[in-house]
Amino acid sequence: REVGTPDDADRAFVQDLLETMRAYHGIGLAANQVGITRRIAVVETDPEQAIVLIDPVVVGQEGKDKDEEGCLSIPDIYGHVQRPLKVTVAATDAEGRRRTITAEGLAARAILHEIDHLDGILFLDRLGPLKRRLLLRDWERSRKGKSGHIREAPSPEDAGRPVG
């Protein structure tokens, strides 16, 4: 669901998303990956500049690039996905300003990956059916513990707790 003008709770949530993403060594995270159905995502391919995407809309794209992607929602699975090399997105930042962001390379790929999440699309959905099936089979096998049960993934709350 769209956010509109972000409030203090939205700004706090953006910070939580950033902390969770960093705790899991990701470069992007969307709200629905942590169970929140709002059009909010964060991307950080440059440690000096996090990109906040509230109600993002792709307004332009150029070129083509095929490269490997992974996802915090399906850890340890990677696939080669074709995406535009350059993207322009209109989005609101955490302060409520509507901005136009142009990104290339990894930043463009990460932005589009997170917008896909907001649209209910996983990177696996961008692969061919055979490759997707093989990757999902491998993922299921990797998730099985010695007893044959799938291990639980850590919760977002655990990601914010200090270690040690």
> Which domains, and CATH codes, for the chain?
8-159 (3.90.45.10)
Question: Does the pLDDT of residue 153 top 80, yes or no?
Answer: no
Given this model, what pLDDT does residue 152 score? Answer: 47
Alpha helices, H only, the chain: 8-23, 105-118, 129-143, 156-159
| pLDDT, position 145 | 59
For residues 124 and 79, the answer to whether their CB atoms sit within 8 Å is: yes
Distance CA 32, CA 20 (A): 13
Is position 62 annotated as part of the catalytic site? Answer: no
* Catalytic residue selected from 69, 104, 114, 140: 114
SS3 103: strand
- Model confidence at 155: pLDDT above 60: no
* pLDDT tens profile 26-45: 999 999 998 888 999 999 99
Grade residue 149 by pLDDT with cuts at 50, 70 and 90: very low
Q: pLDDT tier at 98 (50, 70, 90 boundaries)?
A: very high
pTM over 0.85: no
Quote the CA–CA distance of 18 and 27 in Å, as a whole number.
Answer: 9
